[in-house]
Amino acid sequence: MYILYDVNLPEGFNLRRDVYIRAAVFLRNLIDNDTKYDWQLVLPPWGNLYHWRSMNIGMQKYIPWATFFDIVSLQKYIPVLEMYEFMKEYSVDRKEIVLDRVYFLQHDENMFSAGKFVDKNEVASCPENNFPYRKINDKFAGRFWGYSNITALEVKCIIFHGTTFGLMKNLKPSIHRSFMFDHMEIALHKEYGSVDYWMARRSMRYNSELYNVANEFRKKYLNSDDKKDNTERPDDWTMEKGKRNAVGGQYLAVHLRRRDFLMGRKDTVPTIKSAASQLKKKLKELKLETVFVATDAKDHEYEDLVTQLRNYTVIRFSPTDYIRTKFKDGGLAIIDQIICSYARYFIGTYESTFTFRIQEDREILGFLNETTFNYLCGTKNKCETGGRWTIVW
């Protein structure tokens, strides 16, 4: 039995990583509740993301999960398979993949306007606009991650509100072999921040090559390694135990989110001048000399930051062409995230899911909360503290 899913097109990389956790916990529950069938999760290939615009690095489409994540680690939580493996397994000639049933999830707009939320899972008529499926002969064509050889026998539109657990009743494994949930982001976490949540999150170890690149950088430019920083951990995430004694390398790391965050989030995103002054203050307080900057800023903004912090060592990760081409924008994001996660102190950008994922990695590594849940203050000195989603083991 196969579960497939897709996410609202405009959503970014790091929200999609969160949706994976919802899907993975869903599958774990399914396996635990229904031992009759062999359930597997098909990993939706990465690509076509709004933020991934680097040029001259080949196509950023149909990217398998193994480029970013360690599949063996994922498999220690639930059975997963890449899309190309699914295609091989599901269709003998691989020419045509016909899914049995697609559920197109939609919000209940009335609940949002009334502000009253109750669980709902009702078949409804499909929307006239922005509905990506159309019937051609006896099958539905659709987006299907960009594969034109994938179709579906049936598409049901569902008004859904509730956790992923509520999706179980939509499965009819005695009749169908494959189910796809489109707009999986609409289903909420069964229990956000629970042990299950953190197990799934911990299973999302990165591709070991990405750790190697990040670790080399830490060693070469930040004098940081796991032994010194007290961040050693077992290769197998299931053997990992909770701790709070990570020290981290002698550097402060900042995630400075710019680009689309500069529009519509003016109150919570600082100017470069203000970011520099906040960093200076913290560096002085912590008696640190080095700042690692993870950012999507334009070069001139980064140069401006370096100038303002001229009395400190300011450094960012500059990939070789080989690394850029091999790991693409998603891999570069992860390398930045890894380096931030090993810092003595981390400051992020308020409400950025990129920042959230770094905070989670630091929780797993065992840093004190005070060194992790910090945000740059926005303009007008608006300082947000955000929630502290601490780890449970």
15 sits near ligand GFB (criterion: CB under 6 A): yes
Please pick, from the candidates 14, 178, 278, 290, the single residue that binds ligand GFB as defined by CB under 6 A.
14
40 binds ligand GFB (CB under 6 A): no
Q: Is 363 assigned a catalytic role?
A: no
Helix (H, G, I), strand (E, B) or coil at 155: strand
Residue number of the CB closest to ligand GFB reads: 12
Structure tokens at 191: 């229990």
Residue range at the interface with ligand GFB (CB under 6 A); choices 63-71, 104-112, 198-206, 331-339: 331-339
CA dihedral for 153, 155, 156, 162, sign (positive or negative): positive
- Alpha helices for the chain (secondary structure H): 13-33, 71-75, 83-90, 109-114, 195-202, 208-222, 226-229, 272-286, 299-308, 321-341, 353-365
Collapsing DSSP states into helix, strand and coil, what is residue 26?
A: helix
DSSP code string of 340-372: HHTEEEEEB-TT-HHHHHHHHHHHHHT--GGGT
Instruction: Indicate which single residue of 7, 99, 269, 333 sits in contact with ligand GFB (rule: CB under 6 A).
Output: 333
Q: If binding is defined by CB under 6 A, does position 360 make contact with ligand GFB?
A: no
* Distinct helix (H) and strand (E) counts, the chain: 11, 13
Q: How far is the CB of 338 from ligand GFB (least distance, A)?
A: 11
The residue from 207, 224, 295, 374 that contacts ligand GFB (CB under 6 A) is: 295
The single residue among 207, 352, 359, 371 that binds ligand GFB, judged by CB under 6 A, is 352
Q: Does 386 bind ligand GFB (CB under 6 A)?
A: no
d(CA 294, CA 300): 15
Stretch that binds ligand GFB, among 36-44, 178-186, 269-277, 290-298 (CB under 6 A): 290-298
Which is catalytic among the residues 11, 209, 240, 351? 11
Q: Which residues are tagged catalytic?
A: 11
Q: List residues binding ligand GFB (CB under 6 A).
A: 10, 12-15, 51-52, 255, 257, 260, 294-296, 329, 332-333, 336, 352-354
